[in-house]
Structure 1
Amino acid sequence: MKNEEKLISRKSPPAKSARMVETIYGCKWSLTVYQLLADGINRPGEMVRTVDGLTTKVLNECLRKNTQFGILERIAYNEVPPKVEYEVTDFGQKFIRILDELEKLQQEISEDF
């Protein structure tokens, strides 16, 4: 048998997931929204009332991005007045765990320097 060298192809960065992390971290309110949802606050109006400085416009943009990425699910009830709630998807649970790990890594880096 000949000794053949196995060539390893160049590994490329995960473009979609990297873009997702960048976009979510770019929205300074996403992590706050995740915390609100974890605390059982899932209606946009209640979120705005609960967090000082959070506006409806900014929250709606944040929720829209998170919904587009599949992190959150928008649930609209057929009621008058309209009722909308958000919940974390199964994928969102995985994604949030990754963000938690990034936060731990940042804390370790901060301690080292």
Structure 2
Amino acid sequence: MINKDKKIERIIGPAQSARMVETIVGCKWSLTVYQLLAQGVNRPGEMVRVTEGLSTKVLNQCLKRNIEFGLLEKLSYPEIPPRVEYTITDLGYKLLSILDSLTQLQEEINKSK
């Protein structure tokens, strides 16, 4: 029996986190940056040197976007010449686990075709 008196509210998706995932996945280089960080490459100059096709300008935009979302942390050292390193935050690791789940889902979708 259906209760006609009870109203069900519309579910609204998680707008900010969905935008974050869309932005990071939509960025051509974000996932590569995470791979580099996981391999211990945490300085921007080194990232550009070891990644074919990645420019300093694009890398800086990518890093800035990830910092704004709270996924990466920038560490600046008071040295001459200046030294900057990036690390993945706890929130960034949570996003990576979500992205791993999305990758597994895509693999299952590909298998079912």
> TM-score with structure 1 length normalisation?
0.92
In 2, Cα distance between the equivalents of 1:45 and 1:71? 20
User: Partner of 1:80: helix, strand, or coil?
Assistant: coil
Computed over aligned residues only, the root mean square deviation of the Cα atoms, in angstroms, reads 1.4
Q: Percent identity?
A: 62
In 1, Cα distance between the equivalents of 2:108 and 2:88? 27
How many pairs are equivalent? 111
Please tell me the residue identity of whatever aligns with 1:98: I
In 2, Cα distance between the equivalents of 1:8 and 1:92? 34
- Give a deviation string over 1:81-104, Cα, whole Å, max 9, x none: 110000000111101110111111
Name structure 2 gaps, 5 residues minimum: none
Show the 5 A alignment for 1:6-25: 6-25=6-25
In 1, Cα distance between the equivalents of 2:6 and 2:88? 43
| 1:13 Cα deviation from its structure 2 partner | 1.1
Could you list the runs of 4 or more consecutive aligned residues of structure 1 that deviate by over 6 angstroms after TM superposition? none
Name structure 1 gaps, 5 residues minimum: none
| 1:79 Cα deviation from its structure 2 partner | 0.6
